[in-house]
Amino acid sequence: MKFLAGAIFLSLTFLSCVGLLGCATGSSMALPSANTLSGSGSSARTTPDNNLRRGRALLVTECTSCHRFFEPGEFEAEEWESILPAMIGRTAISKRQGTDLAAYVMSAARYAQEQEATDLVTQR
Ligand code: HEC
């Protein structure tokens, strides 16, 4: 009985590690860092890295209380343009923070589109 409990505990621990790792690698792909974005040219030149960094953090903390996490790459930048104002309005963040969040999401969405385009060409 003790053995069984131990085995169950171990396999649960193993499964949750796998799950966490999956999430960690998945989200770093889906949530490019500020450095990656500014190096790629996907972000507006006028948006400093610090703002992108803050925007990225806000997206994770402020946008998951009502629904699942939407990755920037799930919508095109033009679609986000119509989604974001209403969604930012549903959070309690300031206008300044909303601008950072929007800058990050738009840049990351463009970055995802560029990556897809690159993959199309290089995977042939
Ligand atoms: C107070 C609750 C709430 C918060 C906070 C919130 N959302 Fe939403 N979101 C919703 C609801 C409800 C919907 C379903 C569609 C609708 O009502 O517009 C939705 C839908 C969406 C969709 C799907 C739109 C589509 O066309 O399929 C996206 C993407 C989204 N939210 C992103 C965000 C982002 C980014 C943030 C943070 C800035 C955010 N949400 C914060 C409630 C919220």
Q: Are residue 64 and residue 26 in the same domain, yes or no?
A: no
| Ligand 1 proximal residues by C-beta, below 6 Å | 62-63, 65-67, 70, 83, 87-88, 90-91, 101
Total number of residues shown for the chain: 124
Number of domains observed in the structure of the chain: 2
Q: What are 46-104's pLDDT values in tens digits?
A: 678 999 999 999 999 999 999 999 999 999 999 999 999 999 999 999 999 999 999 99
Dist. CA 81 → ligand 1 center (Å): 13
My answer on whether 105 and 95 are in the same domain is yes
Distance separating alpha carbons of residues 87 and 98, to the nearest angstrom? 10
Do 73 and 113 lie in one domain? The reply is yes
Same domain as 90, residue 46: yes
Residues 6, 66 within the same domain: no
What's the rounded Cα separation, in Å, for the pair 10 and 12?
Answer: 5
Residues spanned by the domain of 40: 32-122
Task: Note the pLDDT tens digit of each residue in 6-38.
Answer: 555 555 444 444 444 444 444 445 899 998 888
Q: Which two tokens stand for residue 28?
A: 């770093």
The CA 60 to ligand 1 mean position distance, Å, reads: 13
Mean pLDDT along residues 99-116: 95
